[in-house]
Amino acid sequence: MGRKLDRIGDARLHDRVVTAEEAASWIQDGMTLGLSGFTRAGDVKAVPTALIHRAEAGEKLKVNVFTGASLGSDIDKMMADAGIIHKRLPFQADPTMRKKINAGEHLFVDHHLSHTAEMVRANVLEKVDYAVLEAISITDDGQVIPTTSIGNSLVFAEHAKSIIIEINTSQSQLLEGVHDLYSPNQQGEREPIPLQKVADRIGTIGIPIDIEKVRGIVFTNQPDSPSTIVQPDHETEIMASHLLDFLRKEIAEGRLTEQLAPLQSGIGSVANAVLHGMLQSEFKNLEVYSEVLQDAVFDLIDAGKVSVASCCSITLSEQKMQNVFSRFDAYRDKIIMRPQEISNHPEIIRRLGIIAINTALEADIYGNVNSTHVCGTKMMNGIGGSGDFARNARLSIFVTKSIAKAGDISSIVPFVSHVDHTEHDVDVLVTEQGYADLRGLAPRERVPLIIENCAHPMYKEQLWEYYRDALQGGGQTPHNLEKAFSWHINFAKNGTMRELIEQK
Amino acid sequence: MGRKLDRIGDARLHDRVVTAEEAASWIQDGMTLGLSGFTRAGDVKAVPTALIHRAEAGEKLKVNVFTGASLGSDIDKMMADAGIIHKRLPFQADPTMRKKINAGEHLFVDHHLSHTAEMVRANVLEKVDYAVLEAISITDDGQVIPTTSIGNSLVFAEHAKSIIIEINTSQSQLLEGVHDLYSPNQQGEREPIPLQKVADRIGTIGIPIDIEKVRGIVFTNQPDSPSTIVQPDHETEIMASHLLDFLRKEIAEGRLTEQLAPLQSGIGSVANAVLHGMLQSEFKNLEVYSEVLQDAVFDLIDAGKVSVASCCSITLSEQKMQNVFSRFDAYRDKIIMRPQEISNHPEIIRRLGIIAINTALEADIYGNVNSTHVCGTKMMNGIGGSGDFARNARLSIFVTKSIAKAGDISSIVPFVSHVDHTEHDVDVLVTEQGYADLRGLAPRERVPLIIENCAHPMYKEQLWEYYRDALQGGGQTPHNLEKAFSWHINFAKNGTMRELIEQK
């Protein structure tokens, strides 16, 4: 215990060390928890597990669980299985939890990731009873140093009634000094966020806390879950090369330089492939201003391609995790971790002129994008930060493979079955077929570009057929509402979006 | 001419005075024009009219027309009738032009109103050949003082190859000093916009111009077109009272004070009625941070209810126009006019924590809003600033009457036929039936609120029927895609959204 207490600089907190079981015992039915954790990184592990064990032992217990984004360590899965969730927000990515959400067994509120902090601050959501935050340590002056993510930990700590801290001794202590915690005042009473360059530091290295609110400190040593990112395949590499061609066109036309502009890339294999593609490119002195740093960013730093990377979470594959944290000294002066409110803030995104690369589930012939709902009804993960970035970016790029399920699903459809990003917020669409640059185009100008450049050949004629028919009715955005969802309906009934001969 | 030349302070420009016909003769087929004008105010009148006359006389002529928003003086109508438009952006509101757009006779690009300036600056759109700007005067140091709107005039002047100025002697010279022109640098090279309070002045009183680019100056004396706003009726008054009740609830719950927060209200009769409703309310020291100031804002200033109002355009009814400008001294220290990029800027909207009130054409049971496309295809006016505000506001409120066409159309539908504002960006929905506060609610929680509080009684059971059926399929957002647009299809075929007995 002596060595462990070295992690708690403020001696007034030394007597608050408890077991995870004891800390979890304070949490009661009906409470709201604010947990650290963003895309499997920096999540609290011990207290939620102890809480789940209570439910598994038969106790009737429902809580609201607010986080940064998705949790690792199977916490979301175990919470869903144990049935202890009443309401979950703002994001999740667990198959079991997804199933429960879609079955209506618990509520899920799908937030823009920059919004949750404003709602907590403005007292719009349920009051957070316990903030439960993973930390490396607590400084002498009572600052909590986060681990591999910040997420919403700052705003949870500020507004929760009580705080429980999990000090995780498996996380690298070299992370201290990498975080930059900045909290805006209430709306209407705030100053401009003083961040002008990706590298700017504007806050403190830890979360300033009211130590009276700290009820317990738990020690753990469980590592983060590694990321589940699929490595680039042939198709994602082709998509990456189309996207890099588009960026080259922008340079040729004088709108960008080889330094490009600060890059945001959503989590996923295509985004990862795009960054990988930059390894062999002429682009240089790149800056990253994103939510999550995945493996590729560290490869780009190693290659001298990326000079600085801002994020709110570091989520790596198992091998990369070991590699990065065993020599974190090589990276720490190039990385800044921020609260998700700041990494995703419209003010900063618009000011920096970010190039945003996010993944679409499906897009329609006019450029509307669905990034959350399978066939319009079943939640996949959530909108995440894609809306924060797409809406205010210099360039809002969406990537998707043109087909799924061996061609039974076309990702380019007549009318998306759910809209997360409207035609106004989608600048460029990229598939393995090519890219469509939609900027400044009227809806009728976008259609041929999207069909010819992005749709899979097996669906092109079918899309043209829909559009020619829709044109009969006229309009700024021609549609035949009787057939708008016919592709999705066909898939539900016949297992394919392809038109059958007898249906013609 | 002598007295007129007093309006041109910079003597180097005295020899550039020409007739509207001469100025219009410089405009050639295929060019792109950047015109002043926003919601019928401060539009250029003489040069476009002279250009239209050329087409009416038989000349083959097509131009791209970029503006702030809609034009007055029937310019949009006459341009559409004369067939001189190739591409029009970012907004229009003229019935004749609307018809041509929906017939596919010319292109229309429907922009977020804060985006056009960024796209011009970033050289994404067609290069502006002529900026044609209405002014009161030109100062000694070559600043162009705008009239009753600013719109995109600043960015057009900065980036156009040449400039034509219409000095309108019918506009009040007391407007000088009211404008506040601020232009951000290129993205990535800009500082925070230094505006922290609605009343802050951060720029110049006129548009700084390169006088070498000024090719001609035309004198006119044609007044602005009066607004066409319908005065409050019984239903809009009821809607206003529901909205005020919601704001009172927010005060009671400690989230707002009687000063509320800076108000944005979209153009339209309901928004005007809401502001009228505040005349008799307990709210005080109100601030307005909006695009357009309509009649009601001046009544609120007269009543001592509004202390300051920021806008990018002043659009008044005929009587109010005379009343306001005949004693503009009483208002000028309470009004600040800004470029639409600043009035609608996400950075400012989020910082100030604006309460945004905009009009929906239709909303669905999950809170998605269509504000542009009738039955999903026909353009009404355009998204305007509603997306700029809704996406970043403290409170994003949408208002609509629950039915239209004597009940044959329900404004609350199973699935909106076009999405301009997603469920993520709609906080509160108001109809004459009541309001639904959707903040922090999962989709399945929103449905009963929207149906019970907002839908018209004649459609409630029909909406419940749709939802109960959709629930069979499960999902985060239950839908039956086979019936999702059945209401719109029914309307197209049978002239009503009401279910007929034989259809059941």
What is the bridge-based pairing of β-strands A395-399 and A428-431? parallel
If asked whether residues A207 and A249 sit together in one domain, one would say: no
Closest CA to B188 of A335, A299, A286, A339: A286
Whole-number Å distance between alpha carbons of B422 and A270: 25
* pLDDT digit string (tens) for chain B, length 504 residues: 667 899 999 999 999 999 999 999 999 999 999 999 999 999 999 999 999 999 999 999 999 999 999 999 999 999 999 999 999 999 999 999 999 999 999 999 999 999 999 999 999 999 999 999 999 999 999 999 999 999 999 999 999 999 999 999 999 999 999 999 999 999 999 999 999 999 999 999 999 999 999 999 999 999 999 998 777 889 999 999 999 999 999 999 999 999 999 999 988 788 888 898 899 899 999 999 999 999 999 999 999 999 999 999 999 999 999 999 999 999 999 999 999 999 999 999 999 999 999 999 999 999 999 999 999 999 999 999 999 999 999 999 999 999 999 999 999 999 999 999 999 999 999 999 999 999 999 999 999 999 999 999 999 999 999 999 999 999 999 999 999 999 999 999 999 999 865 444
From chain A, pick out residues whose CB is under 8 angstroms from the CB of B355.
Answer: none
Q: Is the peptide bond preceding residue B90 cis, with omega within 30 degrees of 0?
A: yes
- Given a contact cutoff of 8 angstroms between Cβ atoms, the answer to whether B360 and B398 are in contact is yes
Judged on CB neighbours under 10 Å (0-12, 13-18, 19+), B140 is exposed
- Return all residues near A240 (Cβ < 8 A) that are at least 6 apart: A232, A270, A273, A274, A276, A277
Q: Do A124 and B391 touch (CB under 8 A)?
A: no
Whole-number Å distance between alpha carbons of B376 and A117: 34
Q: Among all residues of chain B, which has the CA nearest to that of A347?
A: B347
Determine the pLDDT at residue B504: 42
B366: left (phi over 0), alpha (psi -120 to 50) or beta: alpha
Please report how many Cα atoms fall inside a 13 Å half-sphere around the Cα of residue B27, on the Cβ side. 36
Whole-number Å distance between alpha carbons of A436 and B233: 47
DSSP state of A8: B
A240 part of a folded domain: yes
B323 part of a folded domain: yes
Instruction: Name the one residue in this structure whose structure tokens are 């007391």.
Output: B174
**How close is the nearest chain A Cα to the Cα of B289, in Å?**
12
- Residue A24 sits in a domain whose CATH number is 3.40.1080.10
Residues A31-53 pLDDT 10s: 999 999 999 999 999 999 999 99
If asked whether residues B59 and B164 sit together in one domain, one would say: yes
Query: What is the per-residue DSSP string for B277-295?
Result: HHHTSS--SEEEE-SEE-H
Amino acid (1-letter code) at residue A94: D
Output the six-digit token pair for B248: 């009172």
**Domain end call among B186, B220, B254:** B220
Q: Which residue in A186, A420, A424, A488 has the most chain B C-beta atoms within 10 A of its own C-beta, making it the best mutation to test that interface?
A: A424
* Residues flagged as binding site of A: 266-270, 381, 385, 405
- Given a contact cutoff of 8 angstroms between Cβ atoms, the answer to whether A299 and A71 are in contact is no
- Give how far Cα A186 sits from Cα of A30, A119, A501, B394, B476, Å: 27, 10, 60, 10, 32
Amino acid (1-letter code) at residue B102: N
Q: Do B192 and A192 touch (CB under 8 A)?
A: yes
- Given a contact cutoff of 8 angstroms between Cβ atoms, the answer to whether A132 and A33 are in contact is yes
* pLDDT digit string (tens) for chain A, length 504 residues: 567 899 999 999 999 999 999 999 999 999 999 999 999 999 999 999 999 999 999 999 999 999 999 999 999 999 999 999 999 999 999 999 999 999 999 999 999 999 999 999 999 999 999 999 999 999 999 999 999 999 999 999 999 999 999 999 999 999 999 999 999 999 999 999 999 999 999 999 999 999 999 999 999 999 999 998 777 889 999 999 999 999 999 999 999 999 999 999 988 788 888 898 899 899 999 999 999 999 999 999 999 999 999 999 999 999 999 999 999 999 999 999 999 999 999 999 999 999 999 999 999 999 999 999 999 999 999 999 999 999 999 999 999 999 999 999 999 999 999 999 999 999 999 999 999 999 999 999 999 999 999 999 999 999 999 999 999 999 999 999 999 999 999 999 999 999 865 444
DSSP state of B381: S
Instruction: Name the one residue in this structure whose structure tokens are 């001189």.
Output: B84
If asked whether residues B474 and B369 sit together in one domain, one would say: yes
Output the six-digit token pair for B165: 């100025």
Task: Please check whether residue A492 touches B, CB under 8 A.
Answer: yes
A315 part of a folded domain: yes
- Return all residues near B358 (Cβ < 8 A) that are at least 6 apart: B264, B265, B266, B271, B371, B386, B389, B390, B396, B397, B398, B399
Determine the pLDDT at residue A371: 97
**Domain end call among B194, B220, B246:** B220
If asked whether residues A254 and A204 sit together in one domain, one would say: no
Beta-ladder partners of B421: B369
Judged on CB neighbours under 10 Å (0-12, 13-18, 19+), B136 is buried
Closest residue to A352, CB basis, from B187, B421, B422: B187
Task: Please check whether residue A373 touches B, CB under 8 A.
Answer: yes
CA dihedral (B349, B235, B492, A501) positive or negative: positive
Q: In a 3-state reduction of DSSP, which class is residue A358?
A: strand
B498 part of a folded domain: no
Task: Please check whether residue B489 touches A, CB under 8 A.
Answer: yes
If asked whether residues B197 and B261 sit together in one domain, one would say: no
- For B327-479, strand residue ranges (E) read 335-337, 355-359, 362-364, 369-370, 373-374, 378-379, 395-399, 403-404, 409-410, 412-413, 428-431, 434-437
**Domain end call among B220, B242, B269:** B220
If asked whether residues B427 and B347 sit together in one domain, one would say: yes
Task: Please check whether residue B202 touches A, CB under 8 A.
Answer: no
Whole-number Å distance between alpha carbons of A297 and A415: 35
Closest CA to A313 of A113, A111, A39: A39
If asked whether residues B344 and B291 sit together in one domain, one would say: yes
Given the residues B134, B158, B166, B291, the one annotated as active site? B291
Output the six-digit token pair for A57: 């032992």
Catalytic residues of A: 291
A117 part of a folded domain: yes
Task: Please check whether residue A395 touches B, CB under 8 A.
Answer: no
DSSP state of A439: T
A228 part of a folded domain: no
Determine the pLDDT at residue A39: 95
Task: Please check whether residue A105 touches B, CB under 8 A.
Answer: no
Q: Among all residues of chain B, which has the CA nearest to that of A348?
A: B347
If asked whether residues B325 and B418 sit together in one domain, one would say: yes
Residue contacts between A and B (CB atoms, under 8 Å): 219
Q: In a 3-state reduction of DSSP, which class is residue A315?
A: coil
Residues in chain B, total: 504
* Residues flagged as binding site of B: 266-270, 381, 385, 405
Angle (CA) B435 A379 A243, round 5°: 110
A46 part of a folded domain: yes
Q: Do A418 and B477 touch (CB under 8 A)?
A: yes
Q: Do A477 and B418 touch (CB under 8 A)?
A: yes
Main-chain dihedrals φ then ψ at residue B160, nearest 5 degrees: -70, 155
From chain A, pick out residues whose CB is under 8 angstroms from the CB of B377.
Answer: 470, 473-479
B284 part of a folded domain: yes
- Return all residues near B7 (Cβ < 8 A) that are at least 6 apart: B136, B137, B138, B167, B169, B219
- Given a contact cutoff of 8 angstroms between Cβ atoms, the answer to whether A354 and A197 are in contact is no
Q: What is the CA radius of gyration of chain A?
A: 23
Alpha helices in A125-233 (DSSP H): 153-159
Residues in chain A, total: 504
pTM for this structure? 0.97
Q: Do B376 and A481 touch (CB under 8 A)?
A: yes
If asked whether residues B53 and B194 sit together in one domain, one would say: yes
If asked whether residues B131 and B260 sit together in one domain, one would say: no
Task: Please check whether residue B419 touches A, CB under 8 A.
Answer: yes
Task: Please check whether residue B482 touches A, CB under 8 A.
Answer: yes
DSSP state of B38: B
If asked whether residues A132 and A244 sit together in one domain, one would say: no
If asked whether residues B49 and B164 sit together in one domain, one would say: yes
* Residues flagged as binding site of A for CoA: 266-270, 381, 385, 405
- Given a contact cutoff of 8 angstroms between Cβ atoms, the answer to whether A198 and A308 are in contact is yes
How many domains is chain A partitioned into structurally?
2
Output the six-digit token pair for B80: 């559409």
Judged on CB neighbours under 10 Å (0-12, 13-18, 19+), A283 is buried
Whole-number Å distance between alpha carbons of A318 and B234: 65
Closest residue to B261, CB basis, from A111, A118, A188: A188
Q: Do A261 and B482 touch (CB under 8 A)?
A: no
- Residue A446 sits in a domain whose CATH number is 3.40.1080.20
With b for 16 or more beta-carbon neighbours within 10 A and e for fewer, the A389-415 pattern comes to bbbbbbbbbbbbbbbeeeeebbbbbbb
Domain that holds residue A334: 234-493
Closest residue to B122, CB basis, from A255, A352, A383: A255
Task: Please check whether residue B471 touches A, CB under 8 A.
Answer: yes
Question: What ipTM goes with this model?
Answer: 0.97
Query: What is the per-residue DSSP string for A203-244?
Result: SBSSEE--GGGEEEEEEE-PPPPPP-PPPP-HHHHHHHHHHH
Determine the pLDDT at residue B12: 94
**How close is the nearest chain A Cα to the Cα of B475, in Å?**
4
Q: Among all residues of chain A, which has the CA nearest to that of B88?
A: A442
Q: Which residue in B476, B479, B489, B491 has the most chain A C-beta atoms within 10 A of its own C-beta, making it the best mutation to test that interface?
A: B476
